[in-house]
Amino acid sequence: MSELYENRELSWLRFNERVLEEAEDKRNPLCERLTFMSIYQSNLDEFFMVRVGSIHDQMLLEDDPTENKTNMTASQQLEAIRERVKELGVRKDESYHKLMKEVEKMGIKLVSYADLNDKEGAFLRGFFERDVLPLLSPFTVSKKRPVPFIRNKEICATALLETRGGKSRIGIVPCNNGMFSRLIEIPGRKGTYMLAEELILHFLPEVFTGYNITHKSLVRVTRNADIDADKVYDEELNYRDHMAEVIKQRRKLEPVRLEYTRDVDKKIIKRVASFFKIDKDMIFNTTAPLDMSFLFTFQDDLRHDKTLFYDKRLPQKSADIDETKPLIPQIMEGDKLLSYPYESIKPFLNMLHEAANNPEVVSIKMTLYRLAKNSKVVETLVEAAENGKEVDVLVELKARFDEENNIGWSRMLEAAGCNVIYGLDGLKVHSKLCLITMKEGKEVKYITQIGTGNYNENTARLYTDLSLMTGDQKIGAEAARVFKALSMGEVMKRTEHLLVAPKCLQNKVIDKIEREIQIARDGGEGYIGIKINSLTDKKIIDKLIEASEAGVKIEMVIRGICCLHPGIKGKTDNIRVVSIVGRFLEHSRIYIFGKGEREEMYIGSADFMTRNTVRRVEVATPIYDEAIRGKLRDMFQMQMSDNVKARELHSDGTYKYVKHKAPLVNAQEILYEEAYKAVGSSI
């Protein structure tokens, strides 16, 4: 049965390979390919920090545990990860160097010290001695000299130092302390740069005087970031202060990966790794820079040439909303759907602002997971509280890597008079839910917004997401029950309309799949359409396999991880899976069960991952409006028909581009064109 399943971690690496393909794809403008190259690396960094860190933690708790789909042990997974990352690393290096040759043709060049003439070398020596050397904090390491703390992802110049007496030790110099620019422009050669770490590496003899340097390299350490905030809960602190302590602890977790440049003696690198207590199998060599964030500076230098970037696209007004009139009455008349980034988030922000100032609105309740840097959502909630509205906000302080931001927002909201709570014990609150309660005379009415993405104005321009605003009072009443449960530290145990994890989503999805199985067995046309980011929940996977065996047609758009192999004869040959990796990050979730009069359709915040279905609070809403259902149906089928940015998952776990045949269908571009046309604009 293992042929039916894919390991989660290996499937994720296949996803990141698709990101790398976008960096290699010459159909993409050059500067956009630089973005994908940088995203590939930052994705991989987070993978090691979270997933590899998690596997290491599992091994501390249990002797080589197995995962539940392919039955790979933790050590087998780490070995497979190592081999795959090394394969992809070679490809990444080759792709990077090819990209740099193309960038060089545009007048931007990255050089080493050997590329400089005498005058330029003399300038850089003076620059190093005057502006860099005084700011460095070098140290040496030996058996009697412990390793000082090296920050996560910090680039260090390292060298084997030998004394005149023949003794050796390791010298280490942290290179990115933020006190000097990483990109150093060569005078007289506009657009020509050297990386600061390369400059420091070249002048290490000036740093470690009195030593003979026999080997040198740049290294970078990646630390585990997988820390369970609930397991280390300190009851002496309030929860917000506890989370601030958790962030501090995470910065000091053990390293899980060492990267290095240069073809140096492997014994030296292993010695460095031993100082950091890094597994010898988690050491990776690269010929590309250890941190590619500088590529964005290159983009800035080339901003004048529009052909090097995607054509400009701006989120459009919704054709179904009249922005010259109050929004709340329009929503009470009929449901409204926003589709980001094709349509603007502005109507939702307008609705929130309207509620903050509407005398009939008595309360606003929201769940917040990730927010923009200068959040208009928080600004409006503060305004509502100052206007005397009851504002209840659940701020998820365990939103990974956004904890500090959310701590800051929670303090601001509290200071304005909002009621702030921080989630449930052992469960993250990942739902995207907003409830506006109004009182007209003695009658209570609700406006409910349920979305697939965060309340973040910035990512609403980059991620594809859906946002339903509805005056359906049954949905509103159920949303009110969700907020009541959250305020009591409880979870929903029964729902009629909404799907609400952890108790009322996985089981309801399985029941709906079971219904399609029965339809197919009775000779009818069973159908399931799913658009999510990842599929790892084995209970749902096994039920989908059963549905395929029964003859149910299953279509899935899964951007990232997919632990199910489609196309296996007699088992999963009724399942088709495509992944779209393109200009915008596919993030919306759509669930469709049945066709025609039987069709049920939902949008929501949950992927079909165990962490979402049983370990988080997630909310999905039914779509009752037929016009909106038609839009979503068309959107889903267009993505299934994509033959430009779509890759199809094959039975052996590999992804291959869908054959490019006329007419070409780039779903994201077509959806943008339709958004422009709907309001009478042209691209």
- Could you list the active site residues? 430
Cα pseudo-dihedral 328, 329, 333, 339, rounded to 10? -30
Nearest one of 115, 143, 158 to 265, comparing CA atoms: 158
Which positions ≥6 away from 463 have C-beta within 8 Å? 340, 341, 453, 584, 585, 586, 587
> What is the residue whose two structure tokens read 């020509």?
192
In contact, 132 and 123? CB cutoff 8 Å: no
**Three-state DSSP class for residue 310:** coil
Nearest one of 10, 6, 16 to 80, comparing CA atoms: 10
In contact, 418 and 393? CB cutoff 8 Å: yes
Q: What is the largest CA-CA distance in the chain?
A: 92
- Residue 390's DSSP bridge partners are 363
In contact, 246 and 229? CB cutoff 8 Å: yes
Say what angle helices 403-415 and 376-386 make with each other, to 10 degrees: 20
- Residue 340's DSSP bridge partners are 465
| Amino acid at site 151 | R
Q: CA–CA separation, 495 vs 42, rounded Å? A: 39
Q: CA–CA separation, 411 vs 403, rounded Å? A: 12
In contact, 491 and 358? CB cutoff 8 Å: no
Q: CA–CA separation, 146 vs 140, rounded Å? A: 9
Phi-psi group of 548: left, alpha or beta (phi > 0 → left; psi -120 to 50 → alpha; rest → beta): alpha
Q: E strands within 124-282? A: 139-141, 155-162, 168-174, 183-185, 192-195, 212-223, 255-260
Nearest one of 135, 141, 177, 137 to 159, comparing CA atoms: 141
Q: CA–CA separation, 567 vs 626, rounded Å? A: 32
In contact, 137 and 177? CB cutoff 8 Å: yes
- How far, in Å, are 381, 408, 410, 411 from residue 415 at the CA level? 12, 11, 9, 6
